[in-house]
Structure 1
């Protein structure tokens, strides 16, 4: 297909040159697409955006195996989000149970967020080296056990210790889940599936909030929510045991068995060598993605975490009204993430994120100024439609920006470091709002949560638009044939493969389509022969 497309110049060298090129690409309808083969070799073409297709036809492109991997990845991310929000939505109950202030209880949230980046690095690297299956199984089973351990934490100190460990293992879920769910999706369907996948986080919140309403407001009812979370996590881990490893790792294992001489230097040493090469080559991309994810995590936490408090204090709603408003807000997030992720397949990743951030900023007055439950619920729905609409593009955007052999560790680590940096976002909003007062519609002096959240969200939305406008995009990057890190990736092995092909050992088979992994090298060998 690439031979029918207009060749594009490679990504510019240098930070400023790359930013200038990326900004210019925003205003060119055709999109620069990088195609990566299994040896890490890149070519670039200008590809016209495909027209938006019927979502049903995109769903039909996924085979049964693809759906299984996607649904398990979605279930893992949803269960992970449920486990996290099981604490955040029950802060008052836990404060009463442990006889501590709500601020003391939120310390557990901060510790969880801080340690997630460590878990993302450890389990992400394991997933890139040994496969997606068992790191995820271990993560989910231990998360379930830690939910149970939280229930039996009789002291505040034990509670903090368990939640710290929870953050460590929670951090490993995101990277493995999105890699497993998206790496085998057809290119045309990735935007839609990315939007659906990301909203597992919002779906986990909605389920937790609904469960919380169902169990009531008694102090000890928090334990029921944690039992539900434990069951969900353990169930996902056990279900993952029933399915095979990702296709990439199965093929790598098969090829290693058939060609042991090509993999004699493969192993842990080769894996870490590839890690060092990746970091030396992609350190700027790492920093960019961390900055982007810091903005995005501030974006979601600032606009969501204090929303219920905003309804209770500034708008003076009762608990039932505030809960309904929060659930509708997150419902908007689920819908928006799916739709905007779908649109990104046509409009492009960066243009979609910039558009969503811009529209969310425009909606800020309608989000904080109304006084009735209906109007606030409607505006909360639509602002989160666009906030999480921008977020819906993130899983596939990070997957496409990732070095092909590190599609588990790279997104997971950059996402979780951004999450760690943004961890005090809710505390910042609360600290400023509690010291600033305005007059409510009823004439009372109330804490200014609305103005603080509005100003902060506007600043963050602008930051996202600027950072995204000058950042890279690799929409449509073809990384399906990328080799597994550490699996015979040395220059000597590549040279041997090329030599074999030149002697005709694999060209005939490649021409017949028998081994797609050799097609690119076969073509290059013919050119060399000429």
Structure 2
């Protein structure tokens, strides 16, 4: 992991640090001039038909997962009336879902890295569909809460497997753009949920209709994954490689964890900020417009749809710009603009003003998020990409799980006078202050993290292959050498020959060109 000093310095260096992982799993560090922005049409055309198929299925699974989550959060007012409880109590279901997603990510992440991307993801989606149906038939609030907790286990496994499936077949130069689009499957799922919310109307009993739609999407996504072939990269990684399955998987996992624990901790902290960022700025926004701004149900639905449309646009554009701007710079600049837009997000009183403010703020919130899939994939240990991406993301979700509940609690227990002269719950100020604090924390965390833009992670060996856990060989000495000299090309390679084996050590070779 890059030192803090080097990471911060790289943000202000014209030449960007780039790390590639070759077919042997060795890292090659390069400081290069930023590439010129590529033609996005050309990038899209560079993807093969097989790559497009894998990408779209992964995107579909992620969208269905997002819809299932938002089918609850967007209907908190309806559900509070149906179960005769407070909106804060309803948000407990959201907290439990987020909290248990990390457990699901660990379980299904292991399955995906061990058995492949196909069957674990298909089964995962079917479980989500079944639990969505179970939520509909819950006889009381406590049963509903228990089912949503189990639902969190299923949700946790989707992101890592879907992201791995979608991005490992995409050419490296197109991954920034496609990462931004993929991440917006989450926002697109929200848009679908908001459209469904608008379509079913405001009657309390209509909440079940949205859950039926979610169940149908999850079952369909599972069947789509079932009919699509296994990841060719996963098959090639295992082909002609010696290993003993479970024993090598476990040995490689512990070796990886010992070597990369700092990166793991950093990624969890980063994803905690990211999840606070999104949940605090979006989960209660519909409630804010209904309660604080006194908008009608259709008006708040339209504003929510436009808000997340902005998220889809922002994630795509900023994900694309991260390919030449740099992953961390894109995150930090998005956080900065987000802070500047908070007043425009919470102060307007009209539907059109709230739509514009919501669109612009979510453009940058999800713009920062658009970098996440490719960033996590690039900094992850190649052999454990599914579990690393999925687990760090969902552990961040677990840490941020009280976010919506906390926003609702603080808002419901504090009051302000709105534009109509009425005393209303303080959703606006609470959300605004929370979003500003979180954006600053996220930017500072990203500033001290590693960057491996352009890493060819799909060339790494499978986790069940002997020695796959020893792929990360970057050294502090090499990083210092590259940073100090501003080298155009710095590589490291661990070579273990017969003499080296006899001596019980490995020879480290450095090649530096200017």
CA–CA separation in structure 2 for the residues paired with 1:303 and 1:90: 16
Question: Secondary structure at the residue paired with 2:239?
Answer: helix
Partner residue, 2:374: 396
Task: Name which of 9, 14, 19 aligns with 1:29.
Answer: 14
Unaligned runs of 5+ in 2: 471-492, 499-507, 510-514
Task: Name which of 117, 130, 137 aligns with 1:145.
Answer: 130
Partner residue, 2:104: 119
Distance 1:490 1:166, change over 3 A: closer
CA–CA separation in structure 2 for the residues paired with 1:315 and 1:322: 9
More displaced stretch, 188-197 vs 34-43: 34-43
Partner residue, 1:473: 451
Cα RMSD between the aligned structures? 2.1
Question: Secondary structure at the residue paired with 1:407?
Answer: helix
Q: Alpha-carbon deviation of 1:521?
A: 10
Q: Normalised by the size of structure 1, how large is the TM-score?
A: 0.86
8 Å CA contact 1:273, 1:486 repeated in 2: no
Partner residue, 2:267: 289
Partner residue, 1:510: none
CA–CA separation in structure 2 for the residues paired with 1:490 and 1:432: 48
Q: Alpha-carbon deviation of 1:490?
A: 7.2
CA–CA separation in structure 2 for the residues paired with 1:174 and 1:451: 32
More displaced stretch, 302-311 vs 58-67: 302-311
Question: Secondary structure at the residue paired with 2:421?
Answer: coil
Q: Alpha-carbon deviation of 1:417?
A: 0.8
Tell me the alpha carbon deviations over residues 33-77 of structure 1, each in whole angstroms, 9 at most, x when there is no partner. Answer: 122223332221112222112211100010000000100000000
Residue-pair matches, total: 477
Tell me the alpha carbon deviations over residues 453-475 of structure 1, each in whole angstroms, 9 at most, x when there is no partner. Answer: 11111111111111111111111
| Superposition map of 1:215-226 within 5 A | 215-226=200-211
Tell me the alpha carbon deviations over residues 412-451 of structure 1, each in whole angstroms, 9 at most, x when there is no partner. Answer: 1111111111111122222222333322222222222222
More displaced stretch, 416-425 vs 438-447: 438-447
1:195 aligns with 2:173: no
Q: Alpha-carbon deviation of 1:185?
A: 0.8
Q: Alpha-carbon deviation of 1:155?
A: 2.8
Distance 1:62 1:521, change over 3 A: farther
Distance 1:472 1:137, change over 3 A: same
Partner residue, 2:191: 206
Q: Normalised by the size of structure 2, how large is the TM-score?
A: 0.89
Unaligned runs of 5+ in 1: 1-10, 13-17, 257-262, 493-519
1:487 aligns with 2:472: no
Distance 1:59 1:521, change over 3 A: farther
| Superposition map of 1:227-242 within 5 A | 227-242=212-227
CA–CA separation in structure 1 for the residues paired with 2:291 and 2:200: 24
CA–CA separation in structure 2 for the residues paired with 1:82 and 1:93: 17
Task: Name which of 104, 112, 125 aligns with 2:89.
Answer: 104
CA–CA separation in structure 2 for the residues paired with 1:176 and 1:490: 19
Distance 1:490 1:408, change over 3 A: closer
Q: Alpha-carbon deviation of 1:349?
A: 0.3
CA–CA separation in structure 1 for the residues paired with 2:356 and 2:363: 10
Partner residue, 1:334: 312
Tell me the alpha carbon deviations over residues 471-515 of structure 1, each in whole angstroms, 9 at most, x when there is no partner. Answer: 1111111222100012132799xxxxxxxxxxxxxxxxxxxxxxx
Q: Alpha-carbon deviation of 1:302?
A: 1.1
Distance 1:37 1:91, change over 3 A: same
Question: Secondary structure at the residue paired with 1:185?
Answer: coil
Question: Secondary structure at the residue paired with 1:46?
Answer: strand
Which structure is richer in relative contact order (CA contacts within 8 A, separation 6 or more)? 2
Distance 1:105 1:166, change over 3 A: same
8 Å CA contact 1:248, 1:484 repeated in 2: no
Question: Secondary structure at the residue paired with 1:316?
Answer: coil
CA–CA separation in structure 2 for the residues paired with 1:490 and 1:97: 52
